[in-house]
Amino acid sequence: GEDVEQSLFLSVREGDSSVINCTYTDSSSTYLYWYKQEPGAGLQLLTYIFSNMDMKQDQRLTVLLNKKDKHLSLRIADTQTGDSAIYFCAETKGGSQGNLIFGKGTKLSVKP
Amino acid sequence: EADIYQTPRYLVIGTGKKITLECSQTMGHDKMYWYQQDPGMELHLIHYSYGVNSTEKGDLSSESTVSRIRTEHFPLTLESARPSHTSQYLCASSGALVVRTGPSSNYGYTFGSGTRLTVV
């Protein structure tokens, strides 16, 4: 199967919470990342989590990590139209110095 | 300000032309990468480099070539462009952890804005 899997699309209403899910395969991944790509732009690092953490919160963003199930999620509280973008989950392949392996991206659409 | 730059942002060229997509970073990062991005969003690693004089092929076979003569510069060249090369090309770099203020950090990769290439 794929190294990093994500659902391709998510649609929410403005003000609701968005939850984007990701599963990965490499248990030696030291860091796991969420990147955001706005239309016509490159990827921007949104947040990351160390593999020895279960949760990380940063303003409207909450990252949850379940190492046993190799499951990562990104929750965006009070989703705004400006959050509409593609969100990529990424793991580090082969330890902290390895290349990043990206998921295929989840396109988040926020309806007013 | 330390950053990564790609030029041009947009390029439309005819079949058979030779082109070079430029990528430069001012962060002193050792590792650099080129990705090709489908219209359907998926990223494909086509080349990477661990440092000067190091180049490696990525997961997706590509007819392009790269060079790394200087740390800050990682150009990608297509000797003879074809319509199948039409895509978005993203350059990225990564290096040792450095504390930096702002919403981003130096964990993971830093991406350029991309070059959208159309071959007609």
> What DSSP letter does each residue of B34-57 carry, written as one string?
EEEE-TT--EEEEEEESSTT--EE
User: What is the predicted pLDDT for the residue at A95?
Assistant: 56
Q: Calculate the dihedral angle through the C-alpha atoms of A20, B5, B117, B79, rounding to the nearest 10 degrees.
A: -130
Substitution target in B30, B56, B107 with the highest count of A β-carbons within 10 Å is B107
Rounded to whole angstroms, the Cα distance separating B68 from A71 reads 37
Top mean pLDDT of A65-74, A89-98, B36-45 is at A65-74
Q: Which residue does chain B place closest to A107, by CA atoms?
A: B41
Instruction: Please tell me which residue, B96 or A18, carries the higher pLDDT value.
Output: A18
Average pLDDT over residues A11-39: 91
Tokens at B63, concatenated: 């007819």
User: What is the predicted pLDDT for the residue at A93?
Assistant: 72
Average pLDDT of every residue of chain A: 90
pLDDT at residue A29 tops 80: no
What residues of B are in the A interface, CB distance below 8 Å?
6, 33, 40-43, 45, 48, 90, 92, 94, 104-105, 107-114, 116
What residues of A are in the B interface, CB distance below 8 Å?
8, 31, 33, 35, 40-45, 48, 86, 88, 90, 99-100, 102, 104-105, 107
Tokens at A57, concatenated: 């919160």
Q: What are phi and psi of B107, to 5 degrees?
A: -75, 150
Instruction: Please tell me which residue, A31 or B106, carries the higher pLDDT value.
Output: A31
Substitution target in A32, A45, A92 with the highest count of B β-carbons within 10 Å is A45
pLDDT in tens, chain B (120 residues): 669 999 999 999 999 999 999 999 998 888 999 999 987 788 999 999 999 999 999 988 889 999 999 999 999 999 999 999 999 999 999 875 444 443 333 457 899 999 999 999
User: What is the predicted pLDDT for the residue at B120?
Assistant: 97
